[in-house]
Chains A and B, each alone.
Chain A
Amino acid sequence: MIRAGIAVLLMILNLILYFFFGMLVMPKKGDRRICVSEAVFAGFFLYYFLFALVCIPIMYKWRPLSMLTGIWGTAVPVICAVSFIVSFRSLKKNLPAFTEYLKKNLPYLAAFLVITVVMVIIVVCNYQFTLDAAYYVANVTTSLQTDTLNIYDPYTGAWQDHFEMRYFFAVFPLNDAVFCSIFKIHPLIWCKTTIAGDAISLTNLVLFMTGKRLFKGDHAKTLLFVLFADVMNFFFITIYTTSTFLLTRTYEGKSLLANVVLPGVFYIYMRLSEDQKSLYNWGLLFLVAIGSPVLSSSSNMLIPAMIAVTIMPLCILKRDITVIFKSLVCMLPEVILMLTYVAYVKGKFVFYTYPR
């Protein structure tokens, strides 16, 4: 029971961390109001992008998990503190409006919270057998057991002489290992309770943001929209659908890609369709583009494709050629990573786990 309580507290802590990371990139000048859900959404991607920047060089140099834990465990509170300091004035200014917003929409927000909590309880209390957990969770357990980063094969425990490039940039499970190390929590509890809860919260958050925009801030409609979407998630089930990933493989990066990243890009498209010149909107898209490869290497294929089919048509619809260039810039990180992987598969290079 205590461990379950800790897992739930960590679930909330993660969302708070994302919020503070997000506040770093939220516009603070002028009369623009801070949107908490958008700050959490942006912060989630910034968090994982920064984590990858720290993690990958340490992993490449075969340094231990404990070193990464020390560095990232120090960096996160520092970043949050900096974020709090630089955002303090803005947060203070927004507080009355936020309180007013809460008062005005309390029944709807409470109902949204209830829907999310019920969904989290249903999913985290359920027993699921999924094959990919043999990699994703075992990778966390293996990293902790060996105090290494991606050097031992999660499936067998055998030492690997080179890094598997499919997972080299998708270091999402290594963040799990860092937190398990800091809080002395078992990877199964962390992945299948804490991260699963966060994944569902973020999924509903993106649905909430989308609904709010579609219904121009009408919270009653937004709430029904979230309810309908969640009901469908329980019934749109085959082994391939986004809903299945959400409800059975909740804690995997692929689940986040399917239910947070891609709907998130669609949300950004809605923003861009109203203002395709907004630097903030493009910045948000770029943040998603650089943060999502850390979650799953499938992002390298899906994000450029999503931008191409969703965002690029704005070039014609808005008669704005700059949309193409800005889209290409957002696609570039994934395209580079995809080409890197192709080069690896074709045998052009290997990153060894020992000096040669």
Chain B
Amino acid sequence: MQSLNINDAGFSYIFNCMALYSEGGVYFVIYVISLLFVCTIAGRYPALQNKDGTDTRKRDRLIFLPQAVMMLLTVFNPVFPVLLNSIFDVNKEYYRFLWMLPVITLIAYAGVKIVFETSKNTARGLIAAVLLICIFMSAGTCIYENGYAKAENIYKMPAELLQVAQIIHRDSDVEYPRAMFEYDYNMQIRQYDASILLPCTREQYLNAVSGGLDHEKIHAEENYYNRLLAVVALNIRLDKEDFLKGLEETDTEYVVLSSANDMLSHIKSMGLKEVGRTANHIVLHYGLETREEFSLADYSEVWAMGY
């Protein structure tokens, strides 16, 4: 959880963590209700017992209760994350401990018990099942809340991204051209085509778009990719000299922008030439003055030496 820090939040960390984990959903609440249900009520009355008349509570308690208690004493204990974080840095990943709680398993189990053990006939059972499904659906957020986006192709990539890769390779005279992209394409292009190199890593890109770049860092005589990030990702107008130095130092000869990008004309004015376009993207080329051509490391000699 990037937005939460154990050192800052202290003992309230676990509550904040759970709030972020659930985001207003009530699955944890239903889990607790289900736990109480299967451990106390279910099996107590004849209608809620197994068909053979046996009480299911003892077994259910053995299956679900010990882990719930252990989780309460450890993962959900406000002291525990603070203590653990003093040994290992678990800030980003503490929420994964919540995965250990069988929330879905227990709720589904309790739901089936309700349907089968309390409903005497099929119609009532069906109604109970539908009602429960409605409860589950309203207990959280649907994955397709904002609509179902069907993949454009079998690669599950934007069709234009594939065209952009083609344009770059058609234009480039090297096997491994380096290109600067806007955020989405930067994260996707190498999934499709690993022969296109990028000037910056995912973390460097994320750092830039989350406000990690200032004037000093952008103009520093190191980490020249920051200049490309400033222009392409942050829409900061750099001097021609500064931007081109960024391209030269990172060996970047292509810049791919969406046609709606405000920096398009500014970048073109710095001497980059359009070499192709798709419906919504434009591929710009910069002729590097000096290029350190990328080639794959040759390990054959190392192997011959017996390593």
Residue ranges of A at the interface with B (Cβ–Cβ < 8 Å): 3-4, 7, 61-64, 122, 125-129, 131, 133-135, 137-138, 141-142, 144-148, 151, 153-159, 186-189, 192-193, 207, 210-211, 214-216, 220-221, 224-226, 228-229, 231-238, 240-244, 247-248, 257-258, 262-263, 266, 269-270, 273, 298, 301-302, 305-306, 308-310, 312-314, 317, 342, 354-355
Contacts and interface: CB of A to CB of B under 8 A. Distances in A.
**Interface SS, A side:** helix
Contact of B143 (A247, A306, A342): A247
Contacts of B199: 156
A67 B103 CA distance: 43
Q: Which 3 pairs from chain A and chain B are nearest by CB? A: A145-B194, A309-B70, A228-B108
A306 B193 contact: no
Nearest to B51: A218
A354 B144 CA distance: 47
Given A144-B194, A262-B100, A298-B93, A232 B136 contact: yes
| Max count, chain B CB within 10 A of own CB: residue among A129, A235, A273 | A235
Contacts of A242: 99, 104
A237 B112 contact: no
Contacts of A216: 50
B67 A309 contact: yes
Interface of B: 1, 20-23, 25, 27, 50, 62-63, 66-67, 69-71, 74-75, 88, 90, 93, 95-100, 102-105, 107-109, 111-112, 115-116, 129, 132-133, 136-137, 139-145, 148-152, 154-157, 176, 184, 187-188, 190-203, 206, 294, 296-297, 299, 302-303, 305, 307
Contacts, number: 243
Contact of B191 (A62, A133, A221, A269): A133
A30 to B, nearest CB: 26
A233 B155 CA distance: 24
Given A157-B197, A262-B100, A225 B108 contact: yes
Contacts of B297: 148, 151, 159, 354
B165 to A, nearest CB: 11
Given A159-B297, A188-B155, A214-B109, A313 B23 contact: no
Given A127-B152, A226-B108, A263-B105, 20 more contacts: A131-B202, A145-B195, A151-B297, A154-B194, A156-B190, A188-B154, A211-B108, A216-B50, A224-B111, A224-B116, A225-B112, A229-B104, A232-B108, A234-B144, A237-B143, A238-B21, A240-B98, A247-B143, A266-B67, A313-B69
